[in-house]
Chain A
Amino acid sequence: MKAKFLVPLFLFLGLVGFLAFGLTLNPREVPSPLIDRPAPAFTLARVDDPSQPFALADMRGKVWLLNVWASWCVACRQEHPVLVDLARQKVVPIVGLNYKEVRGDGALDARGMALEAETGLAIERARRWLAEHGDPYTLSVLDIDGRVGIDFGVYGVPETFLIDGDGKIRYKHIGPITPENLQQVILPKLEEVRRAG
């Protein structure tokens, strides 16, 4: 008879357990469903030489990082030194995906701008930024309209994808890379992927 009256208490305590665990989680981080799936194919113009296209397939056989960035992205500036450092050590090739360089910048009004003009401005801005902050990228490509970003499930900048030799996405890092999560998560993951490959 008495056990019956304890039911609400136990239900409540179960709920508290979840709520307590919930405090340790970040509700805004959305894991990618693309993990262990082939990265979406794309071919985009390079920042250093727009006449030269770069395709996902060009990296076949290599384990590499795809880093989504833009000059207007404040958090990118924060992670940039980490990337520059990483590039100097030549641990892994990093390809930059310059995401909506012009139309993503809230301070600019890009409506009505012709695509050529926008591309030109994007290249200029991207180059200037890389010259100023250092260029850790093997190469960077232009995702003017953010379409490739959508294909990759990008919902904020910066984001970083670890892609293996078969062209599969093996890991996605959301937000700026810090020295800590580079050492503790990304590099070990890279080792693991290399060993498996």
Chain B
Amino acid sequence: MRADRIRLPHAAARAAALTLALWLSPATAADAPAADVAPTVAADPRLEADVQELAHKLRCLVCQNQSIAESNAPLALDLRNQVREQLAAGRSKEDVVDYLVARYGDFVLYEPPLKGVTLLLWGGPAVLLLAGVGWLAWRVRRRAVESAAVAALSEAEHARARALLAGAGPADVPPSSESRESRS
């Protein structure tokens, strides 16, 4: 979900419009006092957004289980700076990832790369799903067949019971098939 964090140029305005619609309260654009505007930490917020996005996908090696974006460990700070510098120098995210993987291995990636040893990891859920759905289909089919057989049987029983009862006289017949179904 964090991966989805995308900063659209007009996201603020749109979000404001949405909340406005939900609140039904008028919120006009701020005509704030001419106080100083605080500078952003990042010289280039656009770049910083990329840095943050990438940093969230990279694991801090010295931490228990945190990304280098979350951690304040010195190494995490260094690696964040590396990422920033390299992105600022115009290298692509893939380049930066390759750079870190070459030094620290796949361990730094929170999204494990698809390769031989991770085939089972990435394919596992799909295999499990197929197996599960297959099992389900088989179970339900078998059940349906049994159920049809039971229905046929009870139909036959019905007929027999009707025949018996017809012979025995006008007794108060319980709805046999119904009661059986609801109690079994």
Chain A residues proximal to chain B, CB less than 8 Å: 30-34, 40, 100, 103-104, 106, 145-146, 150-153, 155-156
Contact partner of A150 among B62, B79, B101, B105, CB < 8 A?
B79
Distance in angstroms from A3 CB to nearest chain B CB is: 15
B39 CB, nearest partner CB in chain A, Å:
17
Asked if A33 and B104 sit within 8 Å, CB to CB, the answer is yes
How many A-B contacts at CB < 8 Å in the complex? 38
Is residue B102 within 8 Å, beta carbon to beta carbon, of the partner chain? Answer: yes
Query: Which one of B61, B78, B79, B102 lies within 8 Å of A33 (CB-CB)?
Result: B102
Number of interface residues of B (CB under 8 A): 14
Given A30-B107, A103-B74, A153-B105, 9 extra CB contacts under 8 A: A30-B61, A30-B105, A33-B103, A33-B106, A40-B103, A150-B82, A155-B62, A155-B75, A156-B61
Given the complex of chains A and B, what is the CA–CA distance between A40 and B79 in angstroms? 17
Complex CA gap A100/B77 in Å reads 13
Could you tell me if B103 and A152 are in contact, using CB atoms closer than 8 angstroms? yes
A166 to B83, CA, bound (A): 30
User: Which residues on the A side are within 8 Å of B104 (C-beta)?
Assistant: 30, 32-33, 153, 155
Q: For the complex of A and B, list the 5 residue pairs with the smallest distance between their C-beta atoms, beginning with the closest.
A: A153-B103, A155-B61, A33-B105, A30-B107, A153-B104
Flag if B105 contacts A32 (CB, 8 Å).
yes
- CB-CB contacts of B100-123 with A at 8 A, as 1s and 0s? 011111110000000000000000
Also in contact, A156 and B79, with CB within 8 A (given A33-B101, A33-B104): no
- A155 CA to B105 CA, complexed, in Å: 12
* Minimum Cβ distance to chain B for residue A151 (Å): 6
State whether A31 touches B74 (Cβ < 8 A): no
21 A–B contacts from the bound complex (CB under 8 Å) = A30-B61, A31-B105, A32-B104, A32-B105, A33-B101, A33-B103, A33-B104, A33-B105, A40-B103, A100-B74, A104-B74, A106-B74, A146-B78, A150-B79, A150-B82, A151-B103, A153-B104, A155-B61, A155-B62, A155-B75, A156-B62
Between A100, A145, A150, the greatest number of chain B beta carbons within 10 A of the residue's beta carbon is seen for: A150
Instruction: Point out the residues of chain A lying under 8 angstroms from B102, CB to CB.
Output: 33-34
A127 to B102, CA, bound (A): 33
Contact partner of A34 among B75, B103, B107, CB < 8 A? B103
* Minimum CB–CB distance for A115 against chain B, Å: 15
Which residue of chain B has the shortest Cβ distance to A100 in the bound complex?
A: B74
User: In the bound complex, how far is the Cα of B99 from the Cα of A151, in angstroms?
Assistant: 9
Q: Which residues of A contact B78 (CB under 8 A)?
A: 145-146, 150
| Residue ID in chain A nearest B82 by CB atoms | A150
**Shortest Cβ distance from A99 into chain B, in angstroms?**
10
Q: How far is the CA of A31 from the CA of B104 in the complex (A)?
A: 8
A30 contacts which chain B residues (CB < 8 A)?
Answer: 61, 104-105, 107
Residue in chain A with minimal CB distance to B78:
A146
Residues of A within 8 A of B74 (CB): 100, 103-104, 106
A33 contact set on B, CB distance < 8 A: 101-106
Q: How far is the CA of A33 from the CA of B106 in the complex (A)?
A: 9
CA distance A30 to B100 in the complex (A): 13
Cα separation A156 to B61 with both chains bound (whole Å): 9
